[in-house]
């Protein structure tokens, strides 16, 4: 029987779809939890599955999200998640068919771009995705962390209910001013604060929540954290694992780190694994070597579906006009497009028939589009072809941003 790729249609299929995800993500102990997850994915028309008879052998979900662009305009993003293929059905084109169906629907829906966080690097370039942001996990020495200046903000420990009431609104304020940031649905906050849990499970007691308030009492920072107890030579050598560390600016972010390192018995604080690759707060340290990057990795991957709409949604660093030839084997973005930007930073991208100044594949377009990677970099690697000398450098200037884009949430 041929494999059928289609949307999930019934509650029973949805429950089995959830079980397939749990097996694919190597968490089979979560099976049977589909009923609780239905509010997370209410639109079954965005849940894709591969069926081999009655067996679900592939999963993919398309999440309605927003992406903040350079210039701080927010556009719709087709957020790809929950991608699995059963080990019994690998190398049979299952993922290719699910991805093609999902991206076709996204293009028809009017989404100019799709995005995902890649667990494995080699998979998604063949579907036109390119890495657009980088992330790192920072570890600080709590015994020797000192700052060059006093830090603003007043810290307070809060309960999980207060955290759920305050943290989502703060995150929305942060993402509105952060190119590369995406929507974080409320159910993710409910899960992380212990409000969304399997039936009969007690509220978690190992997580603590803290808010930072400014002089007016407004919430300007939030962090969730837990302890790991260790003793070395009869001395406390504990660590803190922080997650969902969110702040309105680098000073308040530094204040959160200081709060974490101020705990007695703690010698090390490990931050979220989706932190900035080069955080500004680190420059406030007396000794920058007290904060060390551990795992550093590509994070948000972007797949442009409509170059005209997508590139018209961002601002530009310099007035110029260039024609790009976008190469896309799937056809979604293929064509020649003129980008014209003004002195005020505004810009417009339209299909055109003019001779191109440079050609680039669609995955490279996704990588450079937020300013995190430069066209000149890819020209040096001969992944961008210049027809007009200097065009890659000109595009690099147009696309440049004052700060690298950052996406602070796994989805």
CA-to-CA separations, 260 to 135, 238, 273, 338, in angstroms, rounded: 21, 12, 16, 49
pLDDT in the model for residue 39: 87
- Cβ atoms of 299 and 135 closer than 8 Å: yes
Which domains, ranges and CATH numbers included, belong to the chain?
4-111 (3.40.630.30), 136-295 (3.40.630.30), 307-399 (3.30.1050.10)
pLDDT in the model for residue 218: 98
Separation of alpha carbons 151 and 199, rounded Å: 42
Residues taking part in catalysis: 124, 411
Main-chain dihedrals φ then ψ at residue 360, nearest 5 degrees = -155, 150
pLDDT in the model for residue 156: 98
Structural tokens at position 263: 């705990």
Sign of CA dihedral 206, 411, 134, 396: negative
Residues 6+ apart with CB under 8 A from 123: 95
Separation of alpha carbons 4 and 97, rounded Å: 9
Choose among 95, 78, 79, 97: nearest CA to 87: 95
Separation of alpha carbons 146 and 324, rounded Å: 48
DSSP symbol at 45: G
Q: What is the pLDDT along the chain (411 residues), one digit of tens a residue?
A: 789 999 999 999 999 999 999 999 999 988 988 888 888 998 999 999 999 999 999 999 999 999 999 999 999 999 999 999 999 999 999 999 999 999 999 999 999 999 999 999 999 999 999 999 999 999 999 999 999 999 999 999 999 999 999 999 999 999 999 999 999 999 999 999 999 887 778 888 999 999 999 999 999 999 999 999 999 888 999 999 999 999 999 999 999 999 999 999 999 999 999 999 999 999 999 999 999 998 899 999 999 999 999 999 999 999 999 999 999 999 999 999 999 999 999 999 999 999 999 999 999 999 999 999 999 999 999 999 999 999 999 999 999 999 899 999 999
DSSP-derived 3-state class of residue 198 = coil
Query: What distance, in Å, lies between the first and last C-alpha atoms of the chain?
Result: 33
Separation of alpha carbons 38 and 116, rounded Å: 21
């Amino acid at each position: 029987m041929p494999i059928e790729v289609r949307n999930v249609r019934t509650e029973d299929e949805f429950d089995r779809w959830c079980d397939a995800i749990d097996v694919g993500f190597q968490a089979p102990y979560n099976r049977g939890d589909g009923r609780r997850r239905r509010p997370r994915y209410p639109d079954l028309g965005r849940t894709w599955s591969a069926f081999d008879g009655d067996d679900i052998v592939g999963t993919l979900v398309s999440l309605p999200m927003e992406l903040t662009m350079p210039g701080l305009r927010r556009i719709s993003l087709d957020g790809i998640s929950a991608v699995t293929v059963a080990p019994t059905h690998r190398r049979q084109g299952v993922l290719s068919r699910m991805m093609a169906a999902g991206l076709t629907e996204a293009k028809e829906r009017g989404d100019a771009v799709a995005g995902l966080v890649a667990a494995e690097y080699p998979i998604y370039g063949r579907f036109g995705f390119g890495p657009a942001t980088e992330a790192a996990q920072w570890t600080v020495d709590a015994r020797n962390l000192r700052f060059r200046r006093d830090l603003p903000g007043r810290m307070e420990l809060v309960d999980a209910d207060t955290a759920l009431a305050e943290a989502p609104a703060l995150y929305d304020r942060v993402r509105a001013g952060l190119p590369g940031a995406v929507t974080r649905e409320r159910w993710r906050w409910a899960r992380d604060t212990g409000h969304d849990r399997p039936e009969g499970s007690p509220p978690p007691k190992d997580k603590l929540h803290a808010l930072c308030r400014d002089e007016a009492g407004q919430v300007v920072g939030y962090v969730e954290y837990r302890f790991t107890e260790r003793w070395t030579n009869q001395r406390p050598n504990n660590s803190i694992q922080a997650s969902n560390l969110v702040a309105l600016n680098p000073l308040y972010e530094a204040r959160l780190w200081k709060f974490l390192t101020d705990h007695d018995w703690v010698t090390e604080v490990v931050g979220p694994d989706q932190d900035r690759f080069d955080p500004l707060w680190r420059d406030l340290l007396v000794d920058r070597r007290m904060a060390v990057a551990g795992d550093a990795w590509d994070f948000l991957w972007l797949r442009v579906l409509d170059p005209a709409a997508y590139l018209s949604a961002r601002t530009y660093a310099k007035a110029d006009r260039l024609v790009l030839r976008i190469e896309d084997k799937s056809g979604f973005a293929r064509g020649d497009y003129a980008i014209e930007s003004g002195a005020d930073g505004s810009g417009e991208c339209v299909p055109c028939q003019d001779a191109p100044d440079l050609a680039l594949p669609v995955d490279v377009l996704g990588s450079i589009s937020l300013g995190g990677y430069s066209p000149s970099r890819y020209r040096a690697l001969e992944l961008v072809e210049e027809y007009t000398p200097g065009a890659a450098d000109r595009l690099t200037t147009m696309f440049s941003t004052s700060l690298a884009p950052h996406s602070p949430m796994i989805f």
